[in-house]
Structure 1
């Protein structure tokens, strides 16, 4: 179980500020630290996303691209629609292909951090309900 101080003080990348710009697509508090700037002139985003315990994003799909998650700390969940959730730990890598409905977030008792490399646009869908989340253990 990772604590906030571990990720803040010993994390690979800064935790960043509260993720207010995307708060409507999350249950719980997340933090976002961009790792590239618009001046870098690349057509994908790279950001460090940190989730408080129990925080998760909504079901979503990436169009015209992909997403890669590089887990840098704590413990979290990744789930594709119609499949069982996968427990994620530091060092895990998840490749999410275009059009795959999924969500990701922290376990109930651990902070969680990953670098998200995202190309294309995101279509935000329904919330991961408390009942669905509670089944993950």
Structure 2
């Protein structure tokens, strides 16, 4: 058994080369061979988001707090609320982050393939991020 108490490990800020805005990442568990999942609790301040990216083995998001947004390449922007669960298939190009006016926290889970968990691309354009979500919370 491996136990990590809340606050026992240091959070890191999301790197500017992969995120727009202020993002905090708290480790949950690290990816180790042979295929152990990696996970982080990620908090996006209002307006913050990832760059476009893919995961070689897919990614699971569990929204825990706030209000967010996500989009797969070619699809609509969708709103994310606490309790929502999102699966991005292996190689599915996407982004995710907070709403423009609200913070959002999710737990992200992914596994490594040949030591890699993510392939980063460029930033999400403001006009894409600010598009009206297909399923806004009411």
Q: Shorter-chain-normalised TM-score: which range?
A: 0.7 to 0.9
Instruction: Summarize the Cα distance change of 1:37–1:79 in structure 2 as closer, same or farther, 3 Å threshold.
Output: closer
User: How many residues are matched?
Assistant: 122
Matched, 1:107 2:93: no
Larger radius of gyration: 2
Compare the two structures and name the one with the higher helix fraction: 1
- Deviation per residue, 1:3-45 (Å, 9 max, x gap): xxxxxxxxxx76x63424x331000010011012578x86221
Match of 1:35, SS state, is: strand
Which residue number in structure 1 is paired with residue 49 of structure 2? 56
Instruction: Summarize the Cα distance change of 1:38–1:129 in structure 2 as closer, same or farther, 3 Å threshold.
Output: closer
Which residue number in structure 2 is paired with residue 8 of structure 1? none
Structure 2 runs not aligned, ≥5 long: 1-5, 134-138
Query: Is the CA contact (8 Å cut-off) linking 1:23 and 1:30 kept in structure 2?
Result: no
Which residue number in structure 1 is paired with residue 109 of structure 2? 117
Name the CA distance, whole Å, in 2 between partners of 1:112 and 1:47: 14
Compare the two structures and name the one with the higher strand fraction: 1
Query: Which stretches of structure 1, 4 residues or more, deviate above 6 A after TM superposition?
Result: none
Structure 1 runs not aligned, ≥5 long: 1-12
TM-score by structure 2 length? 0.79
The root-mean-square deviation of aligned C-alpha atoms, in Å, is 2.2
Q: 1:28 aligns with which of 21, 31, 39?
A: 21
Matched, 1:96 2:88: yes
